[in-house]
Structure 1
Amino acid sequence: MSARSGSRTSGAGSADATPSSRTPSSTTPSSAPIEDHAALGDGRTVALVDRHGTIDWLPLPGLDDAPVFARLLDEQNGGCIELAPVAEHTMTRRYVPDTNVLETRYETEHGVVRVRDALVTGVAGRLPWAELVRRIEGVEGRVVMQWRVAPGIAFGTRSPWIDSGDAERGVIRAGDLTIGIVTGNVGTPDPVDDSPTDAVGARFRTSPGSVHVLGLSATDDEPLHQPDPLRAGEAIDRTIAAWRTWSKEFGYDGPWRDAVQRSALALKLLIHSPSGAIAAAATTSLPERDAGDKNWDYRFAWVRDLAYTVGALVQFGLREETHAALSWLLRSIKASAPDLHIFYRLDGRVDGEVTEHEDTAGWNGIGPVVTGNPAGAQLQLGVYGDLFGIVRSYIAEAEGNVLDVATGELLADIADRVCDRWRSRDSGMWELPETRHYVSSKMGCWQALDAAIDLAARGQIIDRRDRWEPERERIRSWIDENGWDERRGAYTMWPGSSELDVSVLLHAPSGFDRGERMSRTIDAIDAELGAGGGRLWRYTGMREEEHLFVACGFWATAALACVGRVPEARERMDSLVGDANDVGLLAEMVTVDGAFRGNFPQALSHLALIDAAIKIRDLG
């Protein structure tokens, strides 16, 4: 997260790990607010739609590919797909219940139109190509609609074009990417002159009961299938049915059910179905502070996020996703053994090389825009706790799950590695440039050995408890002696420091401490890092540097429940769920005024909401 989320204000930072600052200029066009967006997904990529009906973020064909529709980060040259009434109008929107299909209702003085947007699925599940469909239905009166498909330059890496032969077929090419435009009863596409690349658009008029289809299909370095417009329109209904079938498997019965269900649906958007990996977010380079510098690519799979996702989904009875995620992670670890990395590419490879796109302005001109993330080279000891937390959830929370022999041997070897390495300095959960003995990292090592001991007792991994149990107690003794500051009344960030770190609160749910010390730590953190309404900055010093970290508020809520302060947890939860936008999605951060910052939608935020709700339900 800090190379995900930035560097500390104190200490010597790494020039290689921190992009150069770039602040908005007076001539930079304003970008759509992050909170104005809804998300669509098909298990391979994610599109973002703003409140004006513009798709201004869509990597194709996969989430971690170059985004040829990226006006969100490049207002002038990024590209977009526009669809809206020509006349002045009002708009209301929602997700079709139990789905990730967006429904928008436009009202003008001349009539009413309904638009349903989806990245659609096929009869047998995910399509082998990406297919976006926008179905427009006339409800009342007659409304003139206007659309435009204008691919962008993909951070300066591509220049889309339409040749004379492709114009009739409705095909746009951008390097190896081929995009087919699907049109049905939406006017005759004509070239658009005011776009930075070859683009097309048209106008059409709705009437009561009329149906119109605008969409696109896309492939990379392979043939393109262009769907029939009628079938493309019908695919919306098929996709709604598919989402509702998935939602029926969702097994949460408790408070804040709507928020929990929407969070589960948001997480499903970030699950990369070809591999089982779970992306941390759908975007790159959305800023965490308005001065720049803290802009990173989150289209990778963090072990921590995957751990929390498996822990949540397994409790919902969602077997396929949990199995696929764990299997993907174990394959990735084996492929890059012996080291356990903090994140992996969605295909399991280890590659966080950063490219800075200097000529791309960034959201509201706040740069830099980057692809890649430099944190992969760091040592983070807490990741061991995350790994073993995944496996323990997989085994303990669901019947019928059994580890194979090779995995049992691998995990035993990793537990031995924890015994050897827990005394090392690391970069901590926040991926900081200063290596220290971060207290939350030591708690993660304790969690790893505690879970390994449990797995060995269950006969799931090779039994080396005679080594792990004494080392687990040494870690606890170290934290008791070095991580607790009686004067502060809290676990501190590192020995000898008076600084506070919200990540230690994760170890109330992990089982490390559910007693007085953890309870007092919550109070100390609230007093120093709180901004009211349950919101928190991540750690000491961040109040002056960045915005409020959404997940931290939910972590404190779950910790309150774990230490027995359930009524306070309920009150806090009631406030925090209000930080979602109008369609129930959460970003990484919010300003004190509630505006979104950071990459979006953010898996960690939705996971923290789910975990807090479950803890309150189970412990209340």
Structure 2
Amino acid sequence: MKDSAVAPTRVDGYAELRDYAVIGDGRSVALIACDGAVDWLSWPDLDSPTLFAAVLDQARGGRFDLRPKVPYTAARRYLPGTNVLETTFTTASGTVRVTDALTLSDTASLTPGRELVRRIEGLAGSVPMGWSVQPRFTYGAHAPHLTRRAGVPVATYGAEAVAICAWHAGQPQCTTDSVTARFRTEVGTRALIALPYAYQEPLVLPTHAECEARLDHTAAAWRQWSDERTYTGPWREAVLRSALALKLLVFAPSGAVAAAATCSLPEELGGERNWDYRFSWIRDSAFTLDAFLKLGCAPEATSYLWWLMHASQLTHPRLHVLYRLSGGTRAPERTLPLSGYRGSSPVRVGNAAAGQLQLDTYGELLQTAWLYTTAGHRLDADVARRLAEIADFICTTWRQLDAGIWEVRSAPEHFTQSKMMCWITLDRALDLAVRQLIPARHADRWHEERQAVADFVETRCFSERMNSYVRSAGSDDVDASLLLGLLHGYRPSDDRRMSGTVSAVEKTLRQGPYVNRYLGPDGLSGSEGAFLACSFWLAEALARCGRTEEAVSLMDQLVALGNDVGLYGEEIDPASGAFLGNLPQGLTHLALISAACAIGEAAR
């Protein structure tokens, strides 16, 4: 990670997406720009409407500004092994350090339901500081009602309430819709600003000492979690940061893992590819469970698997593409009256992909359960029965057209990766049945249909001319998702067709370290950046094919593409290096962890 100081800039009020760091508490997440502004915070939960959403509309979204009132440079880092952010502002007259966290309860006293704490310390000289809290509830739709309680400004709307508590940080002044103050740091001074929040419950006003103690406790709790991680292979710092980023996307009340912390950040500036990723996708499940197991996160792995089985129970045997973090299935897509990040509209919440058929999800779920059992865990009788019934379902469903892993909004097709994952569904079911972990009463049919799927893929989804599997049956296009056929075990790494596919992806979709998902139309206007998970998939595929030196070289380049605190978005613009899409993107960090583990194993 980089620690060089920069002079933060904004374009039309917007920070570069690369300039954001993230903090969280296992329930909600905030984005903080390198200039100290909290531009995104959803409360009470990660998938709730926002209190701050300036990243989607700098005029109406709301934010929490905190920065020097004179020119400055900023350098930042996470406290080692934590999700506590430290930003150091340097001015001509002095230096100040800001430490940010969404605090974890120490359970020693009555605590707020949610709490953002910002500690400001004078390190050198004297620095004039200013701050402004502009709450805008429900994605900026509602300005707050501001009152004072025991002298503390409190912003309310409906069942929500947030207090703005300040100690040694100036005298807060209330306007009609914001709270502001100015103060000056000197060497050795320490100020604190806390935003305790409550939803449908009493608002607890904390003391200064309680907030200080919780901030310290939060850092210590994150360090303890990091110290328990077992990974010792290459790129350890990047892997640990990815693990911490992934942990922020784990919704602690249920065990679900969100795809990303934000919604509607654009895959193309000014374009329409703006989606809500604050849901849990079945497609990510195998990578997620594998990462948990490889990092020594057994409790998270168990919680996640049982959440998957609980969420999918209501729709059994059919799987939804995505589920709410609470396990619900309703995610109606709608647009918000916001201008969008740098004019990128529409701004969407909810996700219409929830209603699509994506056959690959069945393979991901069976692969997840298979990985769980190969790590020595058992399945209960009900889960075992349901997994067998999912295999039965795929026997009757795999021939259908689907929307594929990329959730195209054009006509469904026979996507090759979807068929490969149907093969994985039946193959893993057969293995579980052989080991007597699921009922085997229909194993003969699973075997027959597994062969039928393979016959379809090998005869209709492979191009002899290109020596590669193709995007869909009968097409001449290459798709980076075909790499998952290798990573999940559809064919072994020494298979001629699979190694040819790796080479074709390189030749067709790779530009330097960047790999596109695919080329050609997909039912949407505009274009997108390079999809970072695909680049990490390629690095892992190279390692599995014995091309270890090439894999190491690509991995080194990819690790260097993270931002200054080691985070990744969904995509990168190869021309400018700008982040695109929602962030932090769970699949990107999962792919980094998987690639690092695979390359380390290949090198050994």
Return the TM-score normalized by structure 1: 0.92
Whether the 8 Å CA contact 1:518–1:563 is kept in 2: the answer is no
Residues 487-506 of structure 1: CA distance to partner in whole angstroms, max 9, x if unpaired? 11211011211011100101
- Pick one of 486, 495, 499 that aligns with 1:519: 499
For 1:456-471, list aligned pairs within 5 A: 456-463=433-440, 464-471=442-449
Partner of 2:471: 493
Residues 481-540 of structure 1: CA distance to partner in whole angstroms, max 9, x if unpaired? 11110111211011211011100101111111222212211221222211112x111012
- Pick one of 128, 140, 143 that aligns with 2:124: 140
SS of the equivalent of 1:64 reads coil
Structure with the larger RCO, 1 or 2 (CA within 8 Å, 6+ apart): 1
Number of residue pairs matched?
584
Whether the 8 Å CA contact 1:508–1:563 is kept in 2: the answer is no
Partner of 1:424: 400
Q: Which moved more, 1:450-459 or 1:123-132?
A: 123-132
Amino acid at match of 1:571: S
Whether the 8 Å CA contact 2:274–2:348 is kept in 1: the answer is yes
Q: Which moved more, 1:486-495 or 1:120-129?
A: 120-129
Partner of 2:515: 536
Whether the 8 Å CA contact 2:167–2:191 is kept in 1: the answer is yes
- Pick one of 287, 296, 306 that aligns with 1:317: 296
SS of the equivalent of 2:99 reads strand
SS of the equivalent of 2:599 reads helix
- Pick one of 181, 204, 207 that aligns with 1:228: 207
Q: Which moved more, 1:203-212 or 1:324-333?
A: 203-212
Gap runs ≥5 in structure 2: 1-10
- Pick one of 546, 549, 574 that aligns with 1:567: 549
Whether the 8 Å CA contact 1:281–1:602 is kept in 2: the answer is yes
Amino acid at match of 1:410: R
Tell me whether 1:98 sits opposite 2:98 in the alignment: no
Partner of 2:419: 442
Distance 1:441 1:188 in 2: 60
1:279 Cα offset (Å): 0.6
Partner of 1:479: 457
Whether the 8 Å CA contact 1:158–1:175 is kept in 2: the answer is no
Partner of 2:390: 414
Distance 2:519 2:133 in 1: 46
- Pick one of 325, 329, 350 that aligns with 1:346: 325
Distance 2:561 2:497 in 1: 29
SS of the equivalent of 1:142 reads strand
RMSD: 1.7
Residues 395-436 of structure 1: CA distance to partner in whole angstroms, max 9, x if unpaired? 112x3x211111111111011111111111111111113211
1:273 Cα offset (Å): 0.2
Whether the 8 Å CA contact 1:159–1:175 is kept in 2: the answer is no
1:270 Cα offset (Å): 0.4
Distance 1:43 1:82 in 2: 24
SS of the equivalent of 2:511 reads coil
SS of the equivalent of 2:164 reads strand
1:363 Cα offset (Å): 0.2
Partner of 1:365: 343
Amino acid at match of 1:586: Y
Whether the 8 Å CA contact 2:52–2:140 is kept in 1: the answer is no
SS of the equivalent of 1:112 reads strand
Relative to 1, partners in 2 of residues 1:542 and 1:257: Cα closer, same or farther, differing over 3 Å? farther
Distance 2:521 2:21 in 1: 28
Distance 1:542 1:320 in 2: 42
Partner of 1:152: 136
Distance 2:454 2:107 in 1: 51
1:155 Cα offset (Å): 3.2
Partner of 2:248: 269
Whether the 8 Å CA contact 1:78–1:154 is kept in 2: the answer is no
- Pick one of 190, 197, 200 that aligns with 2:173: 190
1:174 Cα offset (Å): 2.2
Whether the 8 Å CA contact 2:162–2:196 is kept in 1: the answer is yes
SS of the equivalent of 1:48 reads strand
Partner of 2:234: 255
Partner of 1:111: 94
1:140 Cα offset (Å): 1.5
Gap runs ≥5 in structure 1: 1-27
- State the 4+ residue runs in structure 1 displaced beyond 6 angstroms: 125-128
Distance 2:251 2:486 in 1: 30
Whether the 8 Å CA contact 1:184–1:230 is kept in 2: the answer is no
Amino acid at match of 2:417: S
SS of the equivalent of 2:387 reads helix
SS of the equivalent of 1:461 reads coil
1:29 Cα offset (Å): 3.0
- Pick one of 379, 388, 410 that aligns with 2:357: 379
Whether the 8 Å CA contact 1:46–1:59 is kept in 2: the answer is yes
Distance 2:436 2:66 in 1: 58
- Pick one of 594, 597, 606 that aligns with 2:577: 594
- Pick one of 96, 103, 114 that aligns with 1:120: 103
Q: Which moved more, 1:234-243 or 1:117-126?
A: 117-126
Q: Which moved more, 1:116-125 or 1:374-383?
A: 116-125
- Pick one of 52, 55, 58 that aligns with 2:38: 55
1:325 Cα offset (Å): 0.7
Amino acid at match of 2:413: R
Partner of 1:20: none
Residues 429-455 of structure 1: CA distance to partner in whole angstroms, max 9, x if unpaired? 111132111100000111111111121
SS of the equivalent of 1:158 reads coil
- Pick one of 323, 333, 345 that aligns with 2:312: 333
